[in-house]
Structure 1
Amino acid sequence: MPFATHPVRRVAAAEGVSLSGSWPHTIPAVRQVLTDGLDLDPGVTFLVGENGAGKSTLVEAIAIAFGMSPEGGSTNARLTTRATESPLSGQLQLTRGAGAPRWGFFLRAETMHGFYTYLEQNPGASGDPNFHELSHGEGFLEILRSRFNSPGLYCLDEPESALSFSSSLALVGVLAELAAGGAQVLCATHSPVIAALPDATILEVGEWGIRRTGWEDLQLVQNWKAYLQEPARYLRHVL
């Protein structure tokens, strides 16, 4: 798709990068991207898998390689308090769509409070509230309302951490609107609610690397269904 208009068409190893035996190259999903590359579809793509499978590492690296701050925010934000990101972003080559938007936003759950402080110290014309006076979930929803409204690349790392069930459904609606408006979304999530967005691409990440799958076939979905049907079956192993 040489004339594709979505921001990132493909992610692959940059020229001269070779695999090593150290982290994060030891993560199967990362090795697959560096070896075979990863084509990204227009619209919404979910990365789903267990902790440590490489979801957040990939989302972070792609966001930084696109030009976003490692601690969250838009391509115009330059928020850095403590460098904890992996070196992977500098080892990636992003193939962009011709004429695609260069704007992006990185929503990273674990650094949102620092991002709120950054917004307070660098006020814009958007009339932002004092995010620190809002609850964690309210702050997230306000970011969705004020920042998720234009074409570009949106990278989200486990946004469900601050959201209730109903707020998670609201996020699904926002993601659908973004996709309909021409935006591209890459979202790492543990939420079967969010991952159920119709027509989204789902990439399951694990010891096998990365594979495309359907919502019903996700191990995440199967585990939640089984747990909700019979919690005691699982709880007897931990209580």
Structure 2
Amino acid sequence: MKFDQPPVVRISRDPDDDLPPTEWPATIPAVAQLLEQGLDLPPGVTFLVGENGSGKSTLVEAVAVAYGLSPEGGSAHGRHETRTTESPLHASLRIQRGIGSGRWGFFLRAETMHGWYTYMDEHRNVKQAEPDYHAMSHGESFLEVLRRKFSSPSFYCLDEPEAALSFGSTLTLIRALHDIAAAGGQVLCATHSPVLAAMPGARIIEVGDWGLRETTWDELELVHHWKAYLDAPMRYLRHTLADD
């Protein structure tokens, strides 16, 4: 069923938060801007696009944990932990939930999904007939998670899901995200993929030294670089492979 409001309406700083502005991760421009100005999250799909270290994954992780999802991936109902590596940012955030919206969600995090697969093996629900994700290739297991877990109008956080996917599988992911949005669900996704970011109707926020700025696919630095590279690879590789 569709809800009148999305699961997350706004992300802002908790009034009781005391994270100093000189302490990481508040020193990251994107994080500092979120803490100062907050961020409205519309229905449908929102992509955070930026370089390594820009803070996009830190933001997605913090929002997922503040919403109540497992920091190493999965839902709020099945929590596993191998080694605590998440930032303390989630404790600084307040999530304004949509009135009447559902509470279920899922955090798909590429770098920790192997641990989540092990957790599912150890807590397998026979009635749900969970598959043996470890028996699949990395990409196949991701697609199976999409098929099984991304099936309701809920809140989904994804951190660089393209890391496990081929070009064709990335298109399959776009279809899954499209169906979630059409059903009234909500997605917040950190990505490096120009293919994924090209999804029609998605909101794109570019993350960098400037903080957060809403933009379009054509204006993304990521897209400019990929177009230039594919047009003339040696223009880039000549400098990359040159001897000092």
Q: TM-score range by the shorter chain?
A: over 0.9
Q: Which residue of 2 aligns with 1:83?
A: 84
Report Cα offsets for 1:16-74 as digits up to 9, x if no partner. 22442011000000000100101111100000000000000000000000000000001
1:223 to 2:225 alignment: yes
TM-score, normalised to structure 1, is 0.97
The whole-number CA distance in structure 1 between the counterparts of 2:42 and 2:123 is: 34
Q: Which residue of 2 aligns with 1:13?
A: 13
Q: Which residue of 2 aligns with 1:70?
A: 71
Q: Which residue of 2 aligns with 1:52?
A: 53
Give 1:4 deviation, angstroms: 5.0
The whole-number CA distance in structure 2 between the counterparts of 1:95 and 1:236 is: 50
8 Å CA contact 1:150–1:181 kept in 2: the answer is yes
Report Cα offsets for 1:206-238 as digits up to 9, x if no partner. 000000000010000110000000000000111
Q: Which residue of 1 aligns with 2:119?
A: 118
Pairwise mapping of residues 197-236 of structure 1 onto structure 2 (< 5 A)?
A: 197-236=199-238
Query: The residue matched to 2:200 in structure 1 has which SS?
Result: coil
1:167 to 2:201 alignment: no
Query: The residue matched to 2:140 in structure 1 has which SS?
Result: helix
Q: Which moved more, 1:51-60 or 1:124-133?
A: 124-133
**After TM superposition, what 4+ stretches of structure 1 lie above 6 angstroms from structure 2?**
none
The whole-number CA distance in structure 1 between the counterparts of 2:73 and 2:205 is: 23
Give unpaired runs (5+ residues) of structure 1: none
8 Å CA contact 1:126–1:146 kept in 2: the answer is no
Q: Which moved more, 1:101-110 or 1:118-127?
A: 118-127
Report Cα offsets for 1:75-115 as digits up to 9, x if no partner. 11111111000000011001111001100000000001000
- Across the aligned residues of Structure 1 and Structure 2, the Cα RMSD in angstroms comes to 1.0
The whole-number CA distance in structure 1 between the counterparts of 2:168 and 2:135 is: 21
The whole-number CA distance in structure 2 between the counterparts of 1:188 and 1:150 is: 21
8 Å CA contact 1:116–1:131 kept in 2: the answer is yes
The size of the alignment, in residue pairs, is 237
Query: The residue matched to 1:82 in structure 2 has which SS?
Result: coil
One-letter amino acid of the structure 1 residue matched with residue 113 of structure 2: M
